[in-house]
Amino acid sequence: MPELGLILLAAGRGTRFGAEPKLLQPLAGRPLVRHAAEAAIASGLGPVVAVLGAHAGRVGAALDGLDLARVVNPAYADGLATSLQAGLAALPAAGSAIVLLGDMPRVTARHLQDLADAFRRAEPAPAAVVPIHAGVRGNPVLLNLRLLAPALAGLSGDQGAGRLLAGRADVLECAMDAGVRLDVDTPDGLAALR
C-alpha cells in the first residue's frame, strides 16, 4: 500500500478564463495543466491520478506520455467536491494524499516533497499540511486520509478541503514561496506569467 498518492484536479470549466479551456493554454511551450502534472510525477512521492471533466478529451491528450492514471468525473459541473471525491476513489489505497490544482504552474516537485517531509516529521500526525505564504494559505494541500476520509466523503458543491480544514487545530502550516498562491484564472493572469 503506498503511503501517499497525488490527485491532480483538472476537471473544471474555467469559465472566468473565457471560451478556450484555460488548462490547455500554452506556458513555456507546454499546456498549463502539464506543469502541475509534471511536478506531481517528478516529486516521486507516489501514484498520480488526474481527474478530468470539462474538455476531458483535450485535457487528457495534453497529459499524454505522462506516468499517471486518469479518471473522468461525469459530475464535474456539480462542483469541486465531486472531483476531489472521484480522485480519492481512483487513488490506490493510501494513508494520505496531496491534492494539486491544474491551474497552478508554479508549484514544483520541491513544494510537494516539502509538504510530505513536514507530514512525516510531525508528531502526532496532523489532519493536513497546508502551504502558507505571506500569512495566507495556498495549495497544494496534503490530507491525512486516516483522519479526514469520512469528512471528505461528505463534501458537496464547489467546496474542497479548505473549508473543512479552516476550523481544525490539527492542521500544520508550512511556509513556502509565492508559487503556492499563484493560480491562473484569467488571460491577464496567464499573460503575467509569460
Kindly report, residue by residue over 25-39, the tens digit of the pLDDT: 999 999 999 999 999
Which is nearest to 10 in space by CA: 47, 48, 46? 48
Give me the phi and psi of 27, to 5 degrees please: -145, 120
Arithmetic mean of pLDDT, 65-70: 97
pLDDT band at 2 (very low <50, low <70, confident <90, very high): low
DSSP string, 122-191: -SSPPSEEEEEETTEE-S-EEEEHHHHHHHHHT--SS--HHHHHHT-S-EEEEE--GGGT----SHHHHH
- The Cα–Cα gap between 187 and 17 comes to 6
Contact 40, 48 (CB under 8 A): yes
Pick 16 or 8 by higher pLDDT. Answer: 8
pLDDT of residue 184: 81
Report DSSP state, residue 92.
Answer: P
Give me the phi and psi of 29, to 5 degrees please: 80, 5
Which pTM does this prediction carry? 0.94
